[in-house]
A and B are shown apart, each in its own frame.
Chain A
Amino acid sequence: MYISGIGRTEFGFSKQSLPQLIYKAIYEAIKDSPISIEQIDAIFVSNFLSGLCDNQLHLNSIVSSLLPELKIPIIRIETACSSGATALYQSLISMPHYRNVLVVGVEKMTHVDNIKLTGHIASASDRTLDQEQGLIFPANYALIAQQHFQRYNSTHEDLVLISYKNHQNANLNPLAHFNYKKVTMEMIENAPLVAAPLTLFDCSPISDGAAALVISDKRTSSRDIEIIGMGIGTDFISLSQRKELTSFEATKIAAKKAYDMAKVGPEDINVAELHDCFTISELISMEDLGFCKPGEGKYLVREKRTMIKGDIPINTDGGLKANGHPMGASGISQVYEIVMQLRKEAGKRQVQNANLGLSHSLGGIGGTSVVHIFRGE
């Protein structure tokens, strides 16, 4: 299976409505692909919070309205922040039935009051076990960070380096939420606490945006990127039900399936997009995906190996941290970046010799984890 077209909007504050954002991403993806909109057999649309933020559900039918008279099967997928990646996964599962499918993810949330929005996002956690106890998402990841620091002597300074790298990468990505923003180490080090030990610069921003992919069962052009591995894992929703607090079991399950299917290992990956909704999750995901041993992610960071010029560049688009995190679109925009890299079209942020790419997306605090592996020419 191949990705024949990619499209996305700028991430950040948008005046456009949810349907407008979806349309823009679909338009870009179709224009990028040799496949026309009439050749699309089905669409998977991913979104997390439009029900709570806009009282707008039934997005599949909204998409139908954007494509008059097409009347093909359209399905909405939601797995919290990994909705986009799960939609891609489901579209691939459906491929024996179709020749070309479209995957589009969208989120619009900057118009919602922050106090409300923090509560809405917390809907991805267990209502009684977590939400009622004030365990908003930054707090979930703060607890994980504390455990990781204790067990492996990783430090907040490692997270500062991750944040800094991702902001620098975003400066090279014209569509990134923080493309315009010059961030210094000093700014990150002096940022206010959000949930100790995590500070503002450990958190991904609230962003609007959409991204789309055209998937085809046959190669349609030399720019196509092949999808060679996929895996999904799910786990207990609440940290209180888990044994392991310094890694995500769901990622390990998803990664094993994806590597086995692709017949490659973590050492073969040339460029990766990891789910850094909080900097600590980039650190932990490197370990869960096998880029290093548990507890050794800090060395990859300190030795600059995850930077664009390193041997395992991570989040070259700026990551969720600085590219932005419109949750329903994030999993798809990660794939957009991997395709750009494997096509050698990433411009200033191009990774040299990028042939195998991996994308990884988390829902909740690792309640869902999705991994895809891609091969360029």
Chain B
Amino acid sequence: MVIWKCEECGKKWRYEIDKCIFCEGKIKLEDIGDLKVIGYTKIFIPSIQHPEIPYYSLILEDEKGNRIIQKSFNKPSMGAYFSLESNGKNPAKRNIIIIGTGTMGTGIAHLSLIKGFNVILMGRNEKSLEKAKNRIQERLLKKNTQDETNQILRRIEYTLNTPNFESTDIIIEAIAEDMRAKKEIFNNITRVCPSETIIASNTSSLSITELSESISHPERFVGMHFFNPPDKMDLVEIVKGRKTSESTIEIVKQITTEMNKKPIIVKDSPGFIVNRMLMPFINEAVNLLEEGVASKKDIDEAIKTGLNHPMGPFELADFIGLDVCLAILESISSNLDEEKYKPSETLIQLVNNGHLGKKTKKGFYEY
């Protein structure tokens, strides 16, 4: 929250202005003190910008009477102090380690930062870390001033080396969807981190139970499947492997709500909920195209207008990445061993030719 105040007459604005229109006084930023909950309501009806219910809207106030409206998924208590950064949760700030500097690793790091967590982002090489750093800074600057951004960036550390894991609440792995690479990383970190540190994988297609084989104390291992972009999409699928303990699930659920996300618990099964439904849907769109039933554009248009989806299947596949779609389909089809999940030829060919969607500027469409 930012408040601009006239140094002369004390009037306040919520919009940045240069000079006071009443007395021409200079404008300065008001210091906001600790905020207390002075009122709240629990909301049970969804709106287009806030489809996930129930949630709370709070009125917070500092000792100078500055007020703010704040959304939260956590039940507030009247009169209690409220931290905007961790949205209700302080006092002990969460420490989170994220491994992977791709779209999801960077996105989860950005989300964790804006929710007030301390973040260590671990990457493979200088170049990818530098890229992640720039992307996070850019995104923060969209909603914050330079000063606020610098303040937030003090809570993130970028590293190539294995960090110190003491006092880490959770490690989230978000590298490429490669069983061997993931297992190798888990193998390495479990050798040096405390046996109770929770380890989560953002995998969208690999088996949590199988991944847990590379982890000592597999009861602290769990799937934590975010959706792209993590700061905008409200869902996190929390995947319970065969050995995942109830207390691990509880803690990860808690961390998810602290991130203002909606946790849905799901058993370890190929594609979990969303991708198990979505990928055959995308694949079927490609089958329709191969059979010449309709054009790409018309299939997209039909789904958007007939089902009210915001994007058609080809647009969505390009957005997700065709390599990701293919990997998930292969994983679902090899695990469930059913013809209906078999990836279509067109999809395989596009991926083989390096046309992976939006990120390579060509997929089903050109960008």
* Chain A positions near chain B (C-beta within 8 angstroms): 114-116, 118-119, 122, 126, 128-136, 138-139, 142-143, 146-147, 192-198, 238-243, 245
Interchain CB contact under 8 A, B47 and A118:
yes
Question: Which A residues lie within 8 Å of B59 (CB)?
Answer: 143, 239-240, 245
In the complex with contacts A238-B14, A240-B69, A241-B14, A195-B44 CB distance below 8 A: yes
Known: A147-B39, A195-B44, A241-B14. 8 other contacts (CB 8 A): A115-B46, A116-B48, A118-B47, A133-B71, A136-B50, A143-B40, A194-B45, A195-B45
CA distance A136 to B57 in the complex (A): 9
What 1/0 mask marks residues of chain B from 33 to 66 whose CB sits below 8 Å from any chain A CB? 0000001111111111111000101010000010
Looking at A114, A139, A193, A241, the one whose CB has the most chain B CB atoms below 10 A away is: A139
Closest CB of chain A to B76's CB: distance in Å? Answer: 12
Which chain B positions have C-beta within 8 A of A241? 12, 14, 67
Q: Smallest distance from the beta carbon of B16 to chain A beta carbons, Å? A: 12
CB distance from A135 to the nearest CB of B (A): 5
Q: Which of B12, B14, B39, B49 contacts A134 (CB 8 A)?
A: B49
Give the distance in Å from the alpha carbon of A128 to the alpha carbon of B15 in the complex: 10
Asked whether, in the complex, the Cβ of B47 is within 8 Å of the Cβ of A122, the reply is yes
* B51 contacts A115, C-beta separation under 8 Å: yes
> Hey, which bits of chain B sit against chain A, CB under 8 A?
12, 14, 39-51, 55, 57, 59, 65, 67-71
Q: How far is the CA of A346 from the CA of B43 in the complex (A)?
A: 38
10 A-B pairs closest in CB distance: A119-B48, A142-B41, A118-B47, A134-B71, A240-B67, A134-B50, A133-B71, A119-B47, A133-B69, A196-B42
Find out whether the CB atom of B65 lies under 8 angstroms from the CB atom of A243.
yes
Who on chain B is nearest to A241 by CB?
A: B14
Q: Classify the interface of chain B: helix, strand, loop or mixed.
A: strand
Is there contact, CB below 8 Å, between A239 and B48? Answer: no
With A118-B47, A196-B41 as contacts: A240 and B68 at CB distance below 8 Å: yes
Q: How far is the CB of B365 from chain A (nearest CB, A)?
A: 27
Contact of B69 among A130, A147, A192 (CB under 8 A): A130
Q: How far is the CA of A198 from the CA of B41 in the complex (A)?
A: 9
Min Cβ gap B217→A in Å is 39
Nearest B-chain residue to A116, judged by Cβ = B48
Instruction: Name which of B41, B48, B50, B68 has the most chain A CB atoms within 10 A of its CB.
Output: B41
Contact B14 A133, beta carbon cutoff 8 Å: no
Query: Contacts of A194 on B, CB cut-off 8 Å?
Result: 43-45
- What B residues does A118 contact at CB under 8 A? 45-48
Assembly CA distance A122 to B96 (angstroms): 36
A195/B46 in contact, CB under 8 A: no
Whether the Cβ atoms of B69 and A136 lie closer than 8 Å is no
A239 engages B67 (CB within 8 Å): yes
For the complex, give the distance between the alpha carbons of A335 and B41 in Å: 33
| A198 to chain B: closest residue by CB | B41
Please give, as numbers and ranges, the residues of chain B lying within 8 Å of A115 by CB-CB distance. 46-48, 51
CB contact under 8 A between A135 and B57, given known A122-B47, A143-B41, A240-B67: yes
Cα(A114)–Cα(B47), bound, Å: 8
Taken together as a complex, chains A and B put the C-alpha atoms of A93 and B67 apart, in Å, by 36
Return chain A residues, CB-CB under 8 Å to B14: 126, 128-129, 238, 240-241
CA distance A114 to B50 in the complex (A): 12
**B residues near A192, Cβ cutoff 8 Å:** 44
Interface centre among B14, B47, B70 (most CB of A within 10 A): B47
Which of A114, A130, A134, A146 has the largest count of B CB atoms less than 10 A from its CB?
Answer: A134
| Pairwise interchain contact A138-B69, C-beta atoms closer than 8 A | no
Q: Are A146 and B41 in contact (CB under 8 A)?
A: yes
B45 touches A134 (CB 8 A): no
By a CB distance below 8 angstroms, the chain B residues around A196 are 41-42, 44
Residues of B within 8 A of A133 (CB): 57, 69-71
Residues of A within 8 A of B42 (CB): 193, 195-196
Contact of A139 among B41, B51, B65 (CB under 8 A): B41
